[in-house]
Structure 1
Amino acid sequence: MGTTLSGYPHAEAVLAAHLRHIERSGPSAGRYCTAAWLASSLGERGDAGSIGPVQRWEPYRKGYLALLGREDWCVVARNALAVKARGIVGLAETASGRRLRAFAEGPP
């Protein structure tokens, strides 16, 4: 295996670079899923399975959630759900997925 983000000395730089990259690349079903799983893994309140300490990851979690809340990203996620894209369907069925704007609000 390897080290986790919590033990990786350059984790913050990698997460910041990844956020910039996916924002520049624009929304896709795959990027939506990746951002959602990362936001979930970065832990909201020390959630079980998060890679704490939560405060260390908060700026990156907020960055991923900001992307996921944008209308263009929500449209892509809803369209992927409508065609039953496997990753999106799995995400929408999770508790953290159901809290995401794309799935909580439904189409505008």
Structure 2
Amino acid sequence: MIVPVVILSLLSALEVTMRPFPLPNGFVCPYCVSDGSIPCKASDTEQCIGASDVCYSITVYKSGGIILRTAGCSTQDICKFGNYSYSLKGEDYRRVITCSKAKRP
């Protein structure tokens, strides 16, 4: 499947300097990993660690339908990737990234 490769390459391209054992920093974000067939639950959250102070959401669409959704904590670096559309083997894909400031509970 091509989509996990796209997400993994996106995430591995981030250059984040972290301590060996990053500690929770008091921020929380909505958390989700879904193939699109299961909706994300608003009640699912994760504690941010280290320098992570941004909540991100990445949604990948294939020919109009959602095929991957992920959300969680990150640094501002992930927001720099922005939205992106491409075609592969006759299928149209679109990646949408949204970012917001993480909140303290």
With the length of structure 1 as denominator, give the TM-score of the two structures: 0.28
Structure with the larger helix share:
1
With the length of structure 2 as denominator, give the TM-score of the two structures: 0.29
Structure with the larger strand share:
2
